[in-house]
């Protein structure tokens, strides 16, 4: 089982990465992924080529059979049997080719999805601060599908276009003059193809971008449906979606107009060639310069020659959409994380839990500092409450301690070691964070609690953590108890219930350093008291940073630190600060008023 309760996939993961050479054409960057499935891909191409060879041999046999009938010399049996055999071979090889091709296509698509998802998990919070989730969803779905279709099907279309080369070779063998007549339209088709490529790329980019805008709106409205309904803004959101849908419709209509203007040239110019061949070839037959069978075979080859021309238009259109999609995907894959392991970073498997902020400065934007020269020492096993007005930098302290962001100045240490010298994986196993906005997955309660230790936690561990977080009681009242599947993001539960599950999940991870970031803000005061009684023993010998505003939560701490506009304003015991800090009294009074309201 995986951390979310599903069956582990047998998918082995991508075998190759997309090339990092940003100056290369997009298809060269994707090529390593396709090459990693070269066996099935080459099999598809070879079998497709074999099928085409068998197809091009059929008109030759047909020509021989017609000449036998016309002249009355020879036997039809051999020609019929060989034609039948060639048809069967063409069908079988074509069928096998498609099976290998689809296997390659879906494997490549799976690899591309895995690569972009793996990369997304490696990117820093600063990336997600500026990118809309709907844009990412679109690039991981429709854009990848466009790239996959072109990357795997385009080579096959090119191979199938070779039927035109083979057909033309047979046409030359029949009559050179007639073959040249048939190729008169080729220069025109080449110019048309170039023009199509020029005009299709911009609209392809616009279409994919506007589809991403729609995905963003859908994502926001699904996740924010409670806010939309609470403010009765359904009509406004419908209008926003209608506007976005109209922009997509305009892009599709423009794309259709472009295709409608140029595709007929690609598809119908070969018909002109057929008319020329029938006219010139008919004269040759009349003057006994060509046999009936030859002109019949020539016409059949000319029909085969049409397929590549028709595919040419499709290939150009697919190519421009794939290019636009690939560039949008590369915008994500070419992002580099701001927070990475330093060269030589070490794993820290255990820690006493001593935390030190040494002259730390931080700002999300250069012109708005959030923390200003913060120096703070928390002893191993000490419980410290961090109190301050909204925007004073309390949550930022927690984010810096887990290296969600790096300070712009100063150093943060755990047990005397600069956290930048520790691997991110080991650091985040040492520091457990429970936020006020508890995120839960749409799986069972048990799987949500066991998320931090999916393979190590048994049912007794899960229940023990739930009891410590004051969650066992309401869990057992759920329809299926610990097996109850909660709704997306946990919205089928109350805010307090979600927070208790989040606390249980973090306690099960058993980190030596625990950050409670307003972790009980949505919990009833009486329930909170019971949780605190359970937490009191669990927090022993565990370094705990409590970001809070309630007196009941602050009471868990040995020491209180007051932040004011990113600076430490005061620190001491709760009683001392009540007596000495006007700011502290004002913060508590405001919090009490909010709780009463």
In which element (H, E) is residue 387 found? strand 383-388
Q: Percentage of the chain surpassing pLDDT 70?
A: 86
The Cα–Cα gap between 211 and 213 comes to: 5
Q: Is the pLDDT of residue 537 over 80?
A: no
Residue entry with tokens 């472009």: 258
State how far the Cα of 375 lies from the Cα of 382, in Å rounded to an integer: 16
If one compares 445 and 260, the residue with the highest pLDDT of the two is: 445
- DSSP string of 340-386? -PPTT-B--------EEEEEEEEEEETTEEEEEEEEEEE-TT-EEEE
pLDDT in tens, 488-523: 667 778 877 888 888 888 888 888 998 888 766 656
Confidence class for position 279, pLDDT limits 50, 70, 90: confident
Beta sheet of 383-388, edge-to-edge order: 431-434, 513-517, 543-547, 383-388, 559-564, 567-572
Task: Summarize the confidence of residues 308-335 as an average pLDDT.
Answer: 78
Whole-number Cα distances in Å, 552 to 23, 469, 545, 549, 579: 59, 16, 15, 9, 18
More confident residue, 323 or 75: 323
Using pLDDT thresholds of 50, 70 and 90, give the confidence band for residue 218.
Answer: confident
Q: Is the pLDDT of residue 1 over 60?
A: no
User: How are beta strands 409-414 and 543-547 bridged, if at all?
Assistant: unpaired
Cβ(34)–Cβ(268) under 8 Å? no
What backbone phi and psi angles, to 5 degrees, belong to 368? -130, 85
Tell me the three state secondary structure of residue 487. Answer: coil
- What does the pLDDT read at residue 102? 87
Residue 152 near residue 315, CB atoms below 8 Å: no
Report the pLDDT averaged over residues 315-331. 81
Residue 45 has a pLDDT of 87
Q: Residue 480: how many CB atoms within 10 A of its CB?
A: 11
pTM beyond 0.85, yes or no:
no
CA distance 531 to 6: 31
26-35 and 76-122 helices, crossing angle to 10°:
110
- pLDDT for position 5: 47
Q: What is the pLDDT of residues 20-49, one digit of tens each?
A: 888 888 888 998 998 999 999 899 989 988
Which run of H or E residues covers position 572?
Answer: strand 567-572
244, 210 Cβ separation under 8 angstroms: yes
Banded model confidence at residue 529, pLDDT cuts 50, 70, 90: low
Percent of the chain clearing pLDDT 90 (strictly above): 14
Instruction: Say whether pLDDT at 240 is over 70.
Output: yes
Task: Give all domains of the chain, ordered by start, each with its CATH number.
Answer: 26-333 (1.20.1560.10), 355-596 (3.40.50.300)
């Amino acid at each position: 089982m995986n951390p979310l309760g599903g069956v582990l996939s047998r998918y082995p993961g991508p075998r190759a990465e997309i090339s990092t050479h940003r100056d290369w054409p997009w298809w060269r960057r994707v090529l390593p992924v396709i090459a990693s499935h070269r066996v099935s891909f080459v099999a598809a191409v070879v079998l497709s080529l074999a099928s085409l060879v068998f197809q091009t041999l059929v008109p030759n046999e047909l020509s021989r059979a017609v000449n036998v009938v016309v002249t009355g010399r020879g036997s039809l049996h051999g020609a019929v049997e060989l034609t039948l055999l060639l048809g069967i071979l063409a069908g079988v090889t074509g069928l096998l080719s498609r099976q290998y091709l689809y296997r390659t296509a879906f494997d490549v698509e799976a690899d591309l999805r895995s690569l972009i998802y793996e990369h997304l998990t490696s990117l820093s919070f600063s990336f997600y601060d500026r990118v809309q989730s709907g844009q990412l969803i679109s690039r991981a779905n429709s854009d990848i599908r466009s790239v996959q279709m072109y990357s795997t099907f385009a080579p096959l279309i090119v191979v199938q276009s070779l039927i035109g080369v083979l057909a033309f070779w047979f046409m030359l063998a029949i009559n050179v003059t007639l073959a040249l007549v048939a190729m008169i339209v080729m220069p025109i088709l080449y110019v048309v193809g170039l023009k199509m490529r020029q005009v299709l790329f911009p609209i392809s980019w616009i279409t994919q971008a506007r589809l991403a805008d729609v995905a963003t709106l859908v994502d926001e409205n699904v996740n924010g449906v409670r806010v939309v309904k609470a403010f009765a803004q359904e009509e406004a959101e419908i209008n926003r979606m209608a506007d976005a849908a109209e922009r997509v419709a305009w892009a599709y209509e423009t794309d259709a107009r472009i295709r409608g203007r140029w595709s007929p040239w690609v598809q119908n110019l070969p018909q002109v060639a057929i008319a020329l061949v029938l006219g010139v070839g008919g004269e040759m037959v009349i003057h006994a310069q060509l046999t009936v069978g030859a002109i019949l075979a020539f016409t059949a080859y000319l029909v085969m020659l049409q397929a590549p021309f028709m595919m040419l238009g499709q290939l150009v259109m697919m190519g421009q959409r794939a290019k636009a999609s690939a560039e949008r995907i590369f915008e994500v894959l070419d992002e580099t994380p701001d927070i990475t392991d330093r060269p030589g970073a070490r794993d820290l498997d255990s820690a006493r839990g001593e935390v030190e902020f040494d002259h730390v400065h931080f700002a999300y934007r250069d012109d708005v500092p959030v923390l200003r020269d913060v120096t703070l020492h928390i002893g191993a096993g000490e419980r410290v409450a961090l109190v301050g007005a909204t925007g004073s930098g309390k949550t930022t302290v927690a984010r810096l301690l887990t290296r969600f962001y790096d300070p712009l100045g100063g150093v943060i240490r755990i047990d005397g070691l600069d956290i930048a010298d520790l691997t991110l994986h080991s650091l985040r196993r040492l520091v457990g964070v429970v936020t006020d906005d508890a995120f839960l997955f749409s799986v069972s309660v048990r799987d949500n609690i066991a998320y931090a230790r999916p393979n190590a936690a048994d049912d007794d561990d899960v229940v023990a953590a739930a009891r410590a977080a004051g969650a066992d009681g309401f869990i057992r009242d759920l329809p299926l108890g610990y097996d109850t599947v909660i709704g997306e993001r946990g919205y089928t539960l109350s805010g307090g219930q979600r927070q208790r599950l989040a606390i249980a999940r973090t306690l099960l991870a058993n980190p030596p350093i625990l950050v409670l970031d307003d972790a009980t803000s949505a919990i009833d005061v009486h329930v909170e008291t019971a949780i605190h009684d359970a937490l009191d023993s669990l927090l022993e010998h565990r370094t705990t940073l409590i970001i809070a505003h309630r007196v009941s939560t602050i009471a868990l701490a040995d020491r209180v630190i007051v932040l004011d506009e990113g600076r430490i304003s005061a620190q001491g015991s709760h009683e001392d600060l009540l007596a000495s800090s006007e700011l502290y009294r004002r913060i508590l009074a405001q919090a009490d008023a909010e709780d009463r309201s």
